[in-house]
Structures are given as structure tokens and as C-alpha cells.
Amino acid sequence: MRVVIVTGAGQGLGRAHAHAFAAEGFSVVVNDVGEAAETVVAEITAAGGVAVASVGDVSDWSYAERLVGTAVETFGDLHVLVNNAGLVRDRMLVGMSEAEWDLVLQVDLKGHFCPLRHAAAHWRAQAKAGRPVSGRIINTSSGAGLMGSVGQGNYSAAKAGVLGLTFVAAAELARYGVTVNAIAPAARTPMTAAVFADMMATQDAAFDAMAPENVSPLVVWLGGEEAGSVTGRVFEVEGDRIGLADGWRYGHRREIGRRFEVAEAGKAVLDLIAEAAPPTPVYGA
């Protein structure tokens, strides 16, 4: 039986992921900062699944180590880490406080790194001991991390950081039998329901396109053994759509074989922009 940790699983996307993994036969460690983790565990066990709660802050280094230990001690191993925990403190940059910046970067970015780091150490030790490893990490970014979002400079920076972390971790952990991917989901959660109320109000439609449960099948598949060839990728997922995000690539260049003069540099910039496709607009721009 495969074992999964889902962070921030007391509500929204994390809760949906935890239920979906349990329905597929995974043993689930449900993390959250409060009593909601116990509630989700009770829901899973009532439905015949296997789950245990772990309450704590995933951006705390020591707690993140204990979280990985909970999976190993309770279920004998860890196979999948779903980094989902996050929060928002939306404000235009000119009005954003240092505390609002620091909190979002701490929870949304460091809160991905800490569990990833300790899960990676567990899998590295297994690999060095000659044990087969089929580790999976699924990180949670956002359209804000891909494109930026007006009023969410802190959140956009954190979620863009999650993408950078994903690419590096995929490259570094492949040798141990670990894949690392990211999703950029759009769904109705406590965070999005208030900020994007009109967009998220699809409950009464024939198909509830914004239900968080729509995102979970992709996450569960990425956590499975059959997903071993997929790593370092970013998937946009919303409603009935799954897309592969095509990120930064090298574009057109100008070379002159010597140092550019100022005017030459300016002309090169304008020529390059004229040749390139326009960038995708920032959300809310």
C-alpha cells in the first residue's frame, strides 16, 4: 500500500486530494494547522479508508521532519508528498507590509521546501541502502506563479518560487528514483471563493467546473507508480481541462562579436521584442 502526505489537507484542494488518495487505496497522512485535520481523517475512515492526522506548521523545519517521520512510523514508509498548504495576504505592492510579504513566502514557499527536504532525505537513505524507491512529489503553484497576478505580488513570487524549486528538485532527486512535478490549479477553495467569487460560482451548473475534486485525479495519478517517467513538469488543471504549461525558454538573440554600444543595445532590444510573441498578460492587468 502506498503512503501519501497531503499538507494543508483540512479543507479545499488538500481535503479533496486526501479523500481521492484514500479512495484509491493509499494510506494518508492528513496535515493541517488545526482540528480540521482530525475531521478529514474521520471522514476518510468512515468511508473505509486509512488515514492519520498530523497537526503542525509545515514551514517549521523540525515539524516537517516529524511529519515525514509520522508517515514512516505509522505506515512503514512514505511514497508521495503533496505540498498543498498555502495562504494569501492580498494587497497592492505599494501598500504591502513586510509582515504580509514574509508570512506568504514562509508558508507558501518555505512550507514546500521543508517537507520536500525531509522526504528527499528519507528517499536518499533508502536508495543508498539499496532499497527500490518510487518517490513522488507534487507541488502546488498557481496561475499567479506562472503569469503574475495584480494585488498578489507576495503570492505570485512565492508560487513562482515553487516552480523553480520543482525544476531543481526534479533534476537533483531523479538519481534516487524520485519524480517532482507541480500543478497550477484553478478551483473553489476558502482562499479563492472570496477573492474570485463570480468566477468560482459554478456549483449550480450541470458540471461544477470549480469543484476542488476536479483537480485531484491528476494529483493521484502523478503520485502513482505508473507516473515514473513524468518529472520536472507543470500542469494547469481546472474543471474538465488539463494542460501542460510551457515555461521559460531561450528566445531570439542578437550577437555582434564585441561589446554593445548603448544605442546598439537599445536597437537589439526593440528588434527582439518586435520579433517575439507578446507575453501572456498578468492576471488582473
CATH number reported for the structural domain that contains residue 49 in this entry:
3.40.50.720
pLDDT in tens, 202-258: 566 688 999 999 999 999 999 999 999 999 999 999 999 999 998 888 999 999 999
Whether residue 61 lies inside any domain: the answer is yes
Catalytic-residue membership of 155: yes
Residue-number span of the structural domain to which 111 is assigned = 3-244
Alpha-carbon gap, residue 66 to 68, rounded angstroms: 5
Whether residue 258 lies inside any domain: the answer is no
Whether residue 175 lies inside any domain: the answer is yes
Catalytic residue among 54, 149, 155, 216: 155
Whether residue 270 lies inside any domain: the answer is no
**CA proximity to 111, closest of 136, 71, 84, 144:** 84
Whether residue 54 lies inside any domain: the answer is yes
Catalytic-residue membership of 159: yes
Whether residue 57 lies inside any domain: the answer is yes
Whether residue 197 lies inside any domain: the answer is yes
Strand partners, 182: 139, 234
pLDDT in tens, 103-151: 999 999 999 999 999 999 999 999 999 999 999 999 999 999 999 999 9
Catalytic residue among 27, 134, 159, 216: 159
Catalytic-residue membership of 142: yes
Alpha-carbon gap, residue 110 to 114, rounded angstroms: 6
Catalytic residue among 142, 149, 156, 216: 142
Q: Which three cell numbers stand for residue 169?
A: 528538485
**CA proximity to 228, closest of 196, 282, 183, 181:** 181
Tally the domains of the chain.
1
